[in-house]
Structure 1
Amino acid sequence: MDTQQNTALTRALAEIPGPLPARGVIHIAIPHTDRFTVVGNHLAQHPDLSCTAVGIAVRIQSLPQGVEVGIKALAARCREGEKRIAAALRELEACGYLQRVRDRLPSGRTITRTVFCNQPTALLRPRQTASPRRPAVAATHQAPGPGPAEELTAAPAPAPDPAPDPAPTPASPPASPSPSPSPSPSPSPSPEPDMPEPPPVPPPPSFVTPLPPLFVPLVPNPTAPKPPPPPLPRPAEATPELDRAATALLSDLRRHTPEFTLSEADIRQLAPGVAAWLERAAHPDAIRRTLTTDLPHPLRRPALLLKHRLTALLPPPLPGVHDLAAPARPRVTVTPFQTCDGCDRVFRSPTPGHCRDCREHRAHRGDDTRTAAA
C-alpha cells in the first residue's frame, strides 16, 4: 500500500495507436518545444564510435558556440575522466566529426580551435551553386506552351471555303479518283493590315530560389597579410672550418634521424645557420638534439623545419670574462668623527678643530672685542 505507483507511463502506453510489439523497445515520442538538440542517426548509431564518444559528441553539439570543449573543460562537466574523454575525442576526430586546428593570432600567439560538424558526410559532397539558367528552366517547366489566351489570340482566322468546282460536262470523261494529298505544312497566312499584333505575353514568374551552400565556415579566412619569415642566421666571420663543420653536422643527421635525409642543395642552404650556432659555442650534440627532438608526424618538409628551428631557437653568444665579473661598487667617502677642542663635542669634519657652535661663539666674541677696541 505504501509503494508509489507511476501511472503516467501506463496512460502513455495506452495512448499509443496500434498493437504494441511483443518484445524490444517501445518508444513514447513526446515532441520537444524548447531546450532540444537534433542528432542524426548517423551519429547515434555509428558502428565505429563507442557510446562514450557518441555521448561526448551529443554534449558538444548541445553546447552554445564559444564554450570551452577541451579535455579538462569536459572533465569538469562530465563524470568521465580525462583519459576516456581524450580517447572519445580522438574517435570523433578520426570519424570526421571533430577537428582541432592550430591558428596563429595577429599578436603572434598560437591557439587551438575546436571545430565540430554535426554531419561530416555533407562536406564530402560537391557544393551546389545557383546557376543563372535554373530560373529559366524552371519557368519552362512551369509554362511548357502558350496559355489559352495566347492560343486564341495567335490563332489565324479561318480561311473562306473554296468555291465548288464546276460540274463536269457529259463530253468530258469522268475524272479519275486521285488520292487525297497528304497534309503539308503551309505557311501561316499573313495577318491582315488592319489587325493589330497581339502584345507579347510575359513569362510567368519563377518561384525557384537558389539553394544555400551546404557548409558555411564559422571562422573566416585570415585577411591580414602575414609578415615575411625572418632570414636564416649567418656567422659574423664565415671561415672554411665553420662551413666544413656545419656541412658535416647536417649530412650526419640522417644517421640519427632517417627523416632528415637532406639533398646537397638543402645542406648548402642550411649550412650558414648551423655555422652561426657553432660560432656561438654551441655543442654539436646540443644542436643535433635541438633539431631532431619532438618532430611532427608526418614530416613533409624537413628542410623547412630545420630552417625554422635554426632561426627561432638561435642561442645568444656566450658572455665574456668581463661580463661575468661582479660590477665594482661605487666608493662612498665617509667624513670621520672629530672632537671639538672647545667643548669636547663630537662632530663630523675632515680636519680637527671646533664644532659649529664653538666657531659661531668665537666669531661673535671676536666681533665684540673689535667693537670695544674701536
Structure 2
Amino acid sequence: MRIHRTQHTSNFTVLPNSIVRHPRLSLAARGLLGHLLSLPDGARETVQSIAEKVSEGRIAVRKAMAQLEAEGYVRRVRHQDPETGTWSTEVTVSDAPMTGESPTDKKLTAGPAKGRFLGRSPYGSKTQEKNPSPTPVQASDSDDQAAEGGRGEASQQQNQEDASPEVGRAAAVLGRLGAVEPKLSLGAAEVLNLAPLAAEWLRRGVSELELRNTLVAGLPATVLAPARFIANRLERKMPTPRRVADPAAPAVALRAECGDCGRPLPLGQSQGICGQCSGVERAPEDPRPSVGTAAEAASLIDQIRQRRAAGTVRGSRRGFATVHP
C-alpha cells in the first residue's frame, strides 16, 4: 500500500494516530471526533444538527457520540448561571482522553439565583397595582367535611357497583374469552377494568351467552390490543334496555278446566262444566269426512276374497284388477 500525503498550509486538522487507530472506537465515532475537532472553538453543534449533514442518520450519530463520551474524548458538564439561575450544558471535545477534571469545567452550582429573579418585571410595583394577586381563600371546616362526605359517598357507590352480581358474572364471561377465542385473552387487571362496562349489558337484559357471542363474532385477522378492542366493542354496540318481567308482579291466573271434557272454562269461572257439556253451546261440527267402522271394513275385505276365489279378481303389485270373461 502506497500512501500519498499532501502538505497543507491552511484549513486542515491534525489528528493523533491514537484516535485514527483507536481499537474500541467505531469508524463512525472516529469520523465524528475528527469532525468535532475541526470545528472552531465556541461552535454550536448538536446530534440533530450533525445528523442533518451526514448520511449515517441520527441514531448512528448518537451511538458514536456515546462511544466518544465513554472513552473520554467528549465531556458534558451541566451548570447553573448564578446571576440568572438558568441551566445550560457545556460540551468539551479533546484530542486526548480526559481522565481527570478539566480546569475549564464549571461545577454544578444549584441554588437560589442572585440579583433579580428571572421573569420579574422592572416595574413590579405598577404591575402589582394593575394586576393584584388574588387573596387565597381558606377552606372552612364545613367545606372540608362536605368534600370528604362527597368522596366517601362516591367511593361507597363505586364499591357497591363493583360488588354487584352482574359485575361478577361479567368478569367470569371476560375471563373465559381466551378459552373460546385466543385473540381475546385478557389479564386479571384488564378483566377487572372491563367488568363494570360488560355488567351494564347484563343489566339491560342480555344473557351471558349473547354477550360472549357478540364479543367474539367477526374478529379481524389480528387483534393487537384485546382489552382496547373489547372496550370499544362494548361501548359501540351497547344495547338498549330490554323489558324484563318484574319478579314482584302477580302471576297470570290459570284457567280452570271443565269437569266433564277437560276443556278450559271461560275467564272468571273457577269450577263446573263448560257450555257444550251443559247443552248451552253447540259443539262445532268436525269438517273431516267420517271414517267407516270396523264392521264395514271387514265386510269389504270379505267381498274381495269371494271375488278372488271366483276368479273375477286377481292380484298384482299395482293392486287388484277385475277380469272380464
TM-score, structure 1 normalization: 0.28
Higher helix share: 2
Larger RCO (alpha carbons 8 Å, 6+ apart)? 1
TM-score, structure 2 normalization: 0.32
